[in-house]
Structure 1
Amino acid sequence: MKKKFLFTICIIFVLGLIGCSNKAKNIENVDVSNMSYEDIESYSKESTVNFYGYGGNEVMNKWFDTYVIPQMKEKHNITVKRVGMDIENIMNKLISEKQAGNASGNIDVVWLNGENFKSAKDNSLLFGPFVDKLPNYEKYIDKDSEDVKIDFGTSVEGLEAPFGKAQFVIAVDDSKITDTITNSTDLEKIIKANPGKFTYPALPDFTGSAFVRNIIYDIVGYDNVKDLPEDKEIVRTAIKPAMEYLNSIKPYLWNNGRTYPATSAQLENMYSDAEVYFTMTYSPNALLGMIETGEFSKNTKIIEFDKGNISNTHFLAIPGNSKNKAGAIMLINFLTSIDAQASKNDIKNWGDVSVLDKNKINEEDMKKFGESISIEKSLPELKAGLVPIIEEIWMEEVLEGEK
């Protein structure tokens, strides 16, 4: 009897090991390249997905922790862990792991765009193309849109999926400024007629840099700068009319243009205190939230340039050494769903602009999105390498130029 009992215990133990082994195999390092979405969904159950992204956006963090994580557990039985980390550190981690030959990294989904995507693509750090595995991408994304196909001048080629949009806008208190502004010429007249009531953040602040590029687009033309080589003197010559414009308004800026706000947050505080009549942002829906809380005047209105406002898309990608690509695909598909996009679009949650094509969403589902600011005519970002060159030229010719 004792031998029989021990034999039974051994059989149970062996079967348990096989079960554990299969479960581990199902969760980690599964080749999803030729799998259907249904199989991917099955393999990903009970797994853990590590989401790495910028951790300094507390509004986004709260939305992710209180909405995304519980929803993924409830709908797909997947545990999501959010790791807040600056993108520079994320990139360094991915590069170091590749150099070390680490095929089982801890990053399953990474939030990125622009120069960091270009670097990741150039260094073959990403898995894909994978967007054809996402039902929501196929259903609701305008795949022919340039802001989906191109990321700061770099072709996406299915290596990242759109997550949200940033749209640059200037906002004005129209109880103080009643004139219509649709271009840089209009803006110049108003600035000179209201000295000290306009300014912009010093570059390389992200929002201040966008303002300068939008002025370049309006004066020089997007088509005349989008294909410029990354040569400082060639760029300097091309954007000279825009730099002359920025110098022409400089004496009429806040503090006579001798100093600039260090950050967009400082500019927002100045606008809130009515120290200036204008502010600017890459997140237009955030304006609605600030108006609702009383931080900004209810008379705040956005300015749209006739030639267009800069817009860019932020994306989600899967590192090539992710050990849970199946779970990563499930998370990204959820984040591009109508419900998730509507939730993050809500100004009470995050206010991030949706990437979904409204023409592909039925009338009933559109009601989920509520109030939102959307720019009628948007223009794409320049090649990532041109941005720091323009910032250097501004520092030399405007910041350190005529005093």
Structure 2
Amino acid sequence: MPETRDFPQILEEARGQTVYWNAWGGDPATNDFIAWVGEEVEERYGVSLVHVKLSDTAEAVSRVVAEKAAGRDDGGAVDLIWINGPNFLAMKDQGLLYGPFVEALPNFDLVDVEDKPSNVVDFTVPVDGLAAPWRVAQVAYLYDAERVAADTVPASIAELGEWAAANPGRLTHPTARDFLGATFLKQALVELVADPAALQAPAADATYEETVAPVWDWYEALRPHLWRAGAEFPESGPAQNQLLADGETDIAITFNPAEAAAGAIQGRLPETTRVFFLEDGTIGNTSFVAIPYNAANAEGAMVVADFLMSPQAQARAQDPANLGAFTVLDLSALSAEERAAFDVTDAHPAMPAPEEFVRVLPEPHPSWMTRLVEDWERRISG
């Protein structure tokens, strides 16, 4: 049911509420940012924020599904979820989301919906006002410039395979059960598939095997050259990055082009860490927050979602000293003073210059990711 209250009324009803934000808890910088958001919304609006740390977003989705099955249609335990892709599609299809509510949030007027279409379309699925965008991501690759010359980094998925063969054990990726490991496979899919447009529709049984065959041909050739001969995989992006920091690997996938700068500033990565992109483009998407249909504190959740889209929160998030997450906003819609806060976020030498960025490729339909992960698990365990 669409949100019809004006924002001042939502603010008034939110005061005193405690919002339980279910969000991935595997990255210290993100956890610190969420803690800062909590401090700000408490001070500004009288809304308390509790970060329910997840290892997988599906945990929160399952909780809401169980509550619906039990007939708990109000007073739910989950107020806000950091969500994308298959999880968003599942909740949307099952009618588990509150709203549409995004149009009721004043800061959504500042969001770039023209040049950043992923702010309103998530993995080919129209968001329809059921989730609010809060950070933009694009695939890039980390490397230590002290060990790898900039002019030798791979420019394509095919070249990544060749590089691994020439440098055995120096590349890995997170397990495909982790979203970043799944993205490693999806990036190969969008580059190697004969017709990328086919990925914008759900995966069909009749054509699936033929479509993904080039990916598995490439991966089976790559795997023996991975870290520990492809017998083990780090459990997460931070675990993968630690291997890079420890000198065990030389290249790591990231969904944050600011990761090299953020990691260096925060002491997680060497100062010599840099990023590169694949020349024909890389997958990009937007992270959203959504409110379950039965949230106990929907008003407070909307206040948090609106604050996440504020120029202050977006500038802090983009600063690599804090998070290094690129903004969802249209900077031309901001005041000169608000824009100035973003100017300091690209000063670190590891931040890629605007001309280094490549074309953003659309995410495949969520069904492709689900099936690729299932395939990978069968192959690894076989």
* TM-score of Structure 1 vs Structure 2, range by shorter chain: 0.7 to 0.9
Counterparts of 2:38 and 2:226, CA distance in 1: 45
The aligned residue for residue 385 of structure 1 is 367
Q: Secondary structure at the match of 2:5?
A: coil
Residues 278 and 47 of structure 1: CA distance in aligned 2, closer, same or farther (over 3 Å): closer
Moved over 6 A (4+): none
User: Mean alpha-carbon deviation: is it higher for 138-147 or for 235-244?
Assistant: 138-147
- TM-score, structure 1 normalization: 0.80
Matching of residue 34 in structure 1 with residue 4 in structure 2: yes
Q: Which among 137, 140, 145 is matched to residue 111 of structure 2?
A: 140
Counterparts of 1:108 and 1:205, CA distance in 2: 24
Q: Which amino acid aligns with 2:98?
A: F
Counterparts of 1:101 and 1:293, CA distance in 2: 43
User: Mean alpha-carbon deviation: is it higher for 248-257 or for 107-116?
Assistant: 248-257
The aligned residue for residue 286 of structure 2 is 313
Q: Deviations over 1:50-81 (max 9, x none)?
A: 4333344443233222x222221322233334
Indicate if the aligned counterparts of 2:141 and 2:251 stay in contact, CA closer than 8 A.
yes
Q: Secondary structure at the match of 2:58?
A: helix
The aligned residue for residue 98 of structure 1 is 68
Matching of residue 240 in structure 1 with residue 206 in structure 2: no
Counterparts of 2:85 and 2:75, CA distance in 1: 25
Indicate if the aligned counterparts of 1:232 and 1:389 stay in contact, CA closer than 8 A.
no
Indicate if the aligned counterparts of 1:216 and 1:242 stay in contact, CA closer than 8 A.
yes
The aligned residue for residue 51 of structure 2 is 82
Q: Secondary structure at the match of 2:341?
A: coil
Q: Which amino acid aligns with 1:161?
A: A
Indicate if the aligned counterparts of 1:140 and 1:361 stay in contact, CA closer than 8 A.
no
Q: CA deviation at 1:315?
A: 0.9
The aligned residue for residue 118 of structure 1 is 89
Correspondences of 1:2-401 after superposition (within 5 Å)? 33-65=3-35, 67-85=36-54, 87-99=57-69, 100-142=71-113, 145-178=116-149, 179-220=152-193, 223-231=196-204, 234-293=207-266, 295-369=268-342, 370-372=344-346, 373=351, 375-396=357-378, 399=380
Indicate if the aligned counterparts of 1:32 and 1:40 stay in contact, CA closer than 8 A.
no
Q: CA deviation at 1:249?
A: 3.2
Q: Which amino acid aligns with 1:151?
A: D
Q: Secondary structure at the match of 1:215?
A: helix
Counterparts of 1:46 and 1:249, CA distance in 2: 54
Counterparts of 2:45 and 2:291, CA distance in 1: 19
Indicate if the aligned counterparts of 2:2 and 2:100 stay in contact, CA closer than 8 A.
no
- TM-score, structure 2 normalization: 0.84
Aligned residues: 369
Residues 160 and 222 of structure 1: CA distance in aligned 2, closer, same or farther (over 3 Å): farther
Counterparts of 2:314 and 2:333, CA distance in 1: 14
Indicate if the aligned counterparts of 1:137 and 1:333 stay in contact, CA closer than 8 A.
yes
Asked which structure has the greater CA Rg, the reply is 1
For structure 2, the 5+ residue unaligned runs are: none
Q: Which amino acid aligns with 1:79?
A: S
Counterparts of 2:147 and 2:315, CA distance in 1: 34
Q: Secondary structure at the match of 1:121?
A: helix
Q: Secondary structure at the match of 1:141?
A: coil
Counterparts of 2:76 and 2:175, CA distance in 1: 38
Indicate if the aligned counterparts of 1:172 and 1:278 stay in contact, CA closer than 8 A.
yes
Indicate if the aligned counterparts of 1:229 and 1:235 stay in contact, CA closer than 8 A.
no
Counterparts of 1:109 and 1:205, CA distance in 2: 21
Percent sequence identity is 27
Counterparts of 2:177 and 2:273, CA distance in 1: 26
Q: CA deviation at 1:387?
A: 0.9
Q: Deviations over 1:225-262 (max 9, x none)?
A: 41354345622211222322223334443344455445
Q: CA deviation at 1:339?
A: 0.4
Counterparts of 2:381 and 2:20, CA distance in 1: 44
Residues 215 and 45 of structure 1: CA distance in aligned 2, closer, same or farther (over 3 Å): same
Compute the RMSD of aligned alpha carbons: 2.9
For structure 1, the 5+ residue unaligned runs are: 1-30
Counterparts of 2:236 and 2:335, CA distance in 1: 40
Q: Which amino acid aligns with 1:71?
A: E
Counterparts of 2:231 and 2:19, CA distance in 1: 49
Q: Secondary structure at the match of 1:72?
A: helix
